[in-house]
A and B are shown apart, each in its own frame.
Chain A
Amino acid sequence: MVDGGLAGGLRAWLEDVAAAAGRDGGGADLPGRGRPAAQVVVRDGALVSTGEGGRLRPWTLSDLRSSLTRTIFRLVTTGAALRHPLDDALCALSVTDRGDDVLEMVRRLGGRDRAALRAFARARASSIQAQWRPVPPAWLPRTGERLRVPLAGGAVSLTSTADLVVGRPSDGRSSVCLVRLPARGAPGVGDAAARTRRALALAETLRSGAPPLRVATYDPRTGQVACDEADGAFLTAAVLDVVGALERR
């Protein structure tokens, strides 16, 4: 059973830390109040920026590879047929809000780079299809879920992304599982991946009021899946990640 005070306790702890971190910006998340001028963004348990968390930046080849991988994963887990991985993934990406950037970047690639990208997509599709099957509809699969938890009146924002979420929202028992692919350029194993899992579990706990049943990272490069149960010690470690990130500001 879910400890009814767990999420509130974690939030209170984080609010104390975040309030200090965001004090220079001022403001409070009371309705009608303005948001502080600069927002500290802690993404996947690590500080990424101050004040520029949502700004679009130029699309890079690393972004493209990461997006192709995520899109292939999404198509596979939702049961879409993949015949030509690169073409199909690009077709899917073309209808996203950054579709024009994606297509323009691919258009500019030389023949050798494009061939490399095609081989990359084929390898990713092969590895993902070998390890994943379409998720049954009854498991309520959600793909590409964003998690964003404002703290200290929006002065600090904890963000993460789940590539796959399954399970009905908690009715008193932990019932949700989240899967995350490595962030752009990040390793899929080791400390960074572990921190990502903790951050994902923490964000899900804070937003839903219940810790997830399990959080996993999946690295399609190696096929490795690492999984954790989100117990109290795990979530405490996640809070300490955030505290550390904010203290290093």
Chain B
Amino acid sequence: MSQSTMAAPCGDGLSGVCATTPDARLPRAAALTDALLAAAPKGAAQRDAAQPHDAAVAALGSDLVRGLTGVLAAASRARRAGQASSDAGRPPALVRIGHYQIASALGGPERARRTGRGAGAVRPFRWNSRTARRTIALAALRTGLDGRAPTPSEAVGLVLSDPGGPFGVGRVGPGSCADWVASLAPPARAHVAAEATTWATRLWTALDWGRLDPGSLAVGGADRWWRWSGSAPEAGCNGEHPHRPCRVALRGHADVRLTPASGAGGSSPGGAHLAVLDGEPGASTRQALLLSALVDVLSGARSPGAAPPPARVIGWWPDCGRAWVVPVDARSLAGAANAVVTAAATLLGADAPGECAGDR
């Protein structure tokens, strides 16, 4: 049985995207694993991974910086036009942009209507069973892949038995998941464990782990970041316009990272990122998925020893069984950079910006 695959039209400034809907092929894990292991597409930016195209990456970075600078200036103008000097409208000193911010900014009215929150609304983070389940489940998955637990629920139990320990959920300290879990009463902890077990089981059974080389596989792990700092004149007392710095941090998140095999050529696996997502794909999904690749590309330009970017990013929605495979190439990365600029504009209260130069 062949997997039914459809490719999106590319004539509207969008990169090619494959939406895999493997209705007929069982087990599903084989199809998703194939997508992770597939060779890098010819002509994709994966050549950048093996043989970095410094000029293209530098152009991408400078386009993004130009876009962000424009956003800061536009936000500053909007504030000066709309208010007297007051702290109330000051921009945040740090803007973090991740999958959620991209989806919120690009999802716009559709997302706002469905969630009841505006695109620019910032919901303060707090741990709960939903926000903690991914962290715990990924730690459990690593435990299972290492052979220390035979099933997801036993792996989650092992992780939660010592959340701050060597096989726990990572960082210990104020605000950490480990400290939050450790503070819970047994029924609450059991509920968190049930959520995490469900999440872990979905990913545990979604891939044929035996086909993935443990040496090039990273499950969970720390998010990767690309940071930029700029400033724009602010309204001040007595007509002064002091420059206020603003930092922008892009968060590259992936649940599974498969790094390219060394010496990867045209037909060798080029690396891939997999993100497990709730619900169903939406209008902003493609750009949000590409953020992890964009962060890798931009980080690689700054530090040559950084991890090479993936050949593709894969979004997988277990709620609906869909998987999207998004090739990473120059155009798709430019689109992702545009989405970052749009998200920054939304978060900083600037007018909608123009496109980055690369997204033509």
Contacts and interface: CB of A to CB of B under 8 A. Distances in A.
B162 to A, nearest CB: 19
Given A78-B193, A96-B191, A145-B198, 6 more contacts: A32-B8, A80-B187, A80-B190, A81-B186, A148-B320, A149-B280
B41 to A, nearest CB: 16
Given A8-B4, A207-B319, A96 B129 contact: yes
A53 B188 CA distance: 28
Interface of A: 2, 4-5, 7-8, 11, 29-35, 37, 39, 51-56, 71, 74-75, 78-82, 87-89, 91-97, 99, 137-138, 140-150, 154, 157, 168-172, 206-210
B26 A148 contact: no
Nearest to A135: B153
Contacts of A145: 198
Given A4-B1, A51-B113, A95-B188, A170 B27 contact: yes
B205 A168 contact: yes
Given A34-B110, A55-B116, A80-B186, A150 B201 contact: no
13 contacts: A31-B18, A31-B281, A31-B326, A35-B110, A137-B151, A140-B204, A140-B205, A145-B198, A169-B27, A172-B26, A207-B319, A207-B321, A209-B24
A134 to B, nearest CB: 10
B28 A208 contact: yes
Interface residues of B, number: 66
A2 B22 CA distance: 14
A52 B116 CA distance: 9
Nearest to B191: A92
**Minimum-distance CB pairs A-B, first 5:** A207-B321, A80-B190, A92-B191, A31-B17, A8-B23
Interface stretch (B227-235, B249-257, B282-290, B341-349): B282-290
A80 B198 CA distance: 15
Contacts of B87: none
B264 to A, nearest CB: 26
Contacts of A146: 278, 319
A141 B197 contact: yes
Nearest to B202: A142
Contacts, number: 178
A242 to B, nearest CB: 15
Among B19, B129, B191, B283, max chain A CB count under 10 A is at B191
A30 B129 contact: no
A9 B276 CA distance: 27
A77 to B, nearest CB: 8
A143 B279 contact: no
B9 interface: yes
B192 interface: yes
A209 B28 contact: yes
A94 B192 CA distance: 11
B8 A99 contact: no
A193 B150 CA distance: 36
A2 B27 CA distance: 11
B241 interface: no
A91 B150 CA distance: 29
B153 A78 contact: yes
A35 B114 CA distance: 12
B128 interface: yes
